[in-house]
Structure 1
């Protein structure tokens, strides 16, 4: 549900009745992950996706039915060996979908509206819903805040004893801390013994940061690509004449400062992407000396192989170890034969995605590993 928070927040403010289907569990080569959602309003308008097309029609019908009868249901979709054209995932995976009606007078509408509004504003938000258990609890929701406080709908929390709400809130907060979406099993009395109640917890955290150093044409293309991928993008360059809003209209922030000085005073975490496009030693060396000692998901630097070798020599002289340098993706990007700034930005984005998800960067044609999830061969080191 939080996967499409911006659109559903608007539907809430427009007092629309709708039903939302959320992927709560997957198996095998499933195309979407837990948290993916599709919603249908009372006029038949649909937003979102749960399967990338395989079972959208069937899930749409479930949403329409849920709106009509007001019943929350959980449905499983998988590949049909008997009839490849039957409703199912022809990719061979399995998904389980929780379909929840949200009429205008839904008891949980207030808490759902608060969760959607917070997620749409980029605030850390966790929403716990009963995905399996006693029929009278199915679909009940609990909004959990980063400080551990929580709130339920008009009828209270999850519908069970108060201890169930307290335990669910504590577990959801722990999942929110790491940005995790998934299920957890509790007993109906709220103890941690599995069985009785399965909760689906969606975590929505602020978008990860991408900081692009070097206000060049390649950076302008990378900013557009980063925004498309959902990053909060900052451009930093020491040259005020190049770091302008006119050149980077889609950037969230534009900073005029020496790159290493800005990095020293800004925050990074394990989701942050740092792209160094300056390929100028006076900028690169102090910047990468700082970057490679900071938390980050990806640190890449542009330049030729000769530039890379010279840069590594200078970084070692600055005190960085082989372990530090192993974090550096340089020359940045996958080999796509890129020539234009846009093609280069695509090659950089491809390497960022492959690094984040453990991809190999090889063509899927002829590959002998699962396309969606599963074990992959290790990538070749830089």
Structure 2
């Protein structure tokens, strides 16, 4: 829903009822992940996507039906070998889509959710998707309060606990419970959409390559920080795509902030007095990605200095250096693409090879 939030708020504020379709589960090679959304206005305007084009036409009709009837629908779409002309995903996947009518009465918490997303504050939306009298029931979970009910206090208690755990991990997905929140039961399916703060990308080194990396990082959905000790270079004007520009000694700044498994650290300083103490700190954090720019000779010299500083071989093995995939990139923009490609590969586990030379699933499982 994050991708369509701005558009649906305009409809919502105008008092409209619109259809909201959300991917709640996928199997095999479905192109969109749970949480992907498509919205249809009462006038027939469409924003967003649930399948990249395969089933949007069918979902559009269900959304119009939801607007007309006020009912919620659970639909499964997939390619059928028995009926090649059936509505389905020609890529071979299966997608479950939950479609509901939304307006001020059915979803009073939407503006507060939007405010939380804008402020990068964690919030989760839990919705009953299984068939039954509580289908469409919704509960919204913030860090310090909740709103709505899924039908029983026991179920509310269970979902509050699980949703906060999913928020901490930045995970969106389906959970199953008994009618009163019992674990390991399959009576009630609840889809939990986590609006966790975006992952952080911290780019060290206020150089032209950093501007390109900041741009592609923002495109990939990161909250981007550019940091350099030289105030004359580290300015918002030079890095318009960064969310923030910090003038600090890099290793001191990194040592003072919160870093988690979703954080990407890109060291582009090209200067041992900056990057060695910085990498010494970075490789001891839980950051999911630590990369450093430089030649292979620079890497060997840097690695020797890091070992001398007490960095272990296990920690050094986490370092992506030289940074990026082997694309023979030359310009700052091409280098930024190679770094982005490596980040995506790290996240999803791809081979980095051309798809024409591979077999099996194109879209790997979500980690």
Bin for the TM-score computed over the shorter chain:
over 0.9
Q: 1:357: how far off?
A: 1.4
Q: 1:266: how far off?
A: 1.8
In structure 1, what is the Cα distance between the partners aligned to 2:56 and 2:119?
Answer: 28
* Deviations, residues 125-166 of structure 1 (Å, cap 9, x unaligned): 1110001041x211110001124x3211xxxx12x2222222
Unaligned 5+ runs, structure 2: none
Taking the TM superposition and a 5 Å limit, the aligned residue runs for 1:197-276 are 197-276=188-267
The answer to whether 1:144 aligns with 2:135 is no
Task: Please name the residue that 1:380 is paired with.
Answer: none
Number of residues paired by the alignment? 367
TM-score, normalization by structure 2: 0.96
Could you tell me which of 115, 127, 143 is aligned with 2:125? Answer: 127
Q: 1:83: how far off?
A: 3.7
**Secondary structure at the counterpart of residue 39 of structure 2:** strand
Task: Please name the residue that 1:43 is paired with.
Answer: 43
* Deviations, residues 287-326 of structure 1 (Å, cap 9, x unaligned): 1011101120100000001101111011111111110100
Taking the TM superposition and a 5 Å limit, the aligned residue runs for 1:76-95 are 76-95=76-95
- Check 1:221–1:130 CA distance in 2 against 1; reply closer, same or farther (3 A cut): same
Given that residues 77 and 87 in structure 1 are in contact (C-alpha distance below 8 angstroms), is that contact kept between their aligned partners in structure 2?
yes
Q: Between 363-372 and 322-331, report the one with greater CA deviation.
A: 363-372
In structure 2, what is the Cα distance between the partners aligned to 1:193 and 1:375?
Answer: 22
Cα RMSD for the two superposed structures = 1.7
Q: 1:12: how far off?
A: 2.5
TM-score, normalization by structure 1: 0.92
- Check 1:374–1:35 CA distance in 2 against 1; reply closer, same or farther (3 A cut): closer
Q: 1:345: how far off?
A: 0.4
Q: 1:193: how far off?
A: 4.4
Given that residues 268 and 295 in structure 1 are in contact (C-alpha distance below 8 angstroms), is that contact kept between their aligned partners in structure 2?
yes
In structure 2, what is the Cα distance between the partners aligned to 1:280 and 1:85?
Answer: 60
- Check 1:194–1:2 CA distance in 2 against 1; reply closer, same or farther (3 A cut): farther
Q: 1:172: how far off?
A: 1.7
- Check 1:120–1:87 CA distance in 2 against 1; reply closer, same or farther (3 A cut): farther
Taking the TM superposition and a 5 Å limit, the aligned residue runs for 1:55-70 are 55-70=55-70
* Deviations, residues 336-371 of structure 1 (Å, cap 9, x unaligned): 121111011000010011111112111111311311
- Check 1:326–1:366 CA distance in 2 against 1; reply closer, same or farther (3 A cut): same
In structure 2, what is the Cα distance between the partners aligned to 1:84 and 1:202?
Answer: 33
- Check 1:3–1:375 CA distance in 2 against 1; reply closer, same or farther (3 A cut): closer
Task: Please name the residue that 2:15 is paired with.
Answer: 15
In structure 1, what is the Cα distance between the partners aligned to 2:338 and 2:308?
Answer: 30
Given that residues 210 and 226 in structure 1 are in contact (C-alpha distance below 8 angstroms), is that contact kept between their aligned partners in structure 2?
yes
Task: Please name the residue that 2:109 is paired with.
Answer: 111
Task: Please name the residue that 1:301 is paired with.
Answer: 292
Task: Please name the residue that 2:315 is paired with.
Answer: 324
Task: Please name the residue that 1:32 is paired with.
Answer: 32
In structure 2, what is the Cα distance between the partners aligned to 1:162 and 1:206?
Answer: 28
In structure 2, what is the Cα distance between the partners aligned to 1:120 and 1:132?
Answer: 30
In structure 1, what is the Cα distance between the partners aligned to 2:349 and 2:250?
Answer: 29
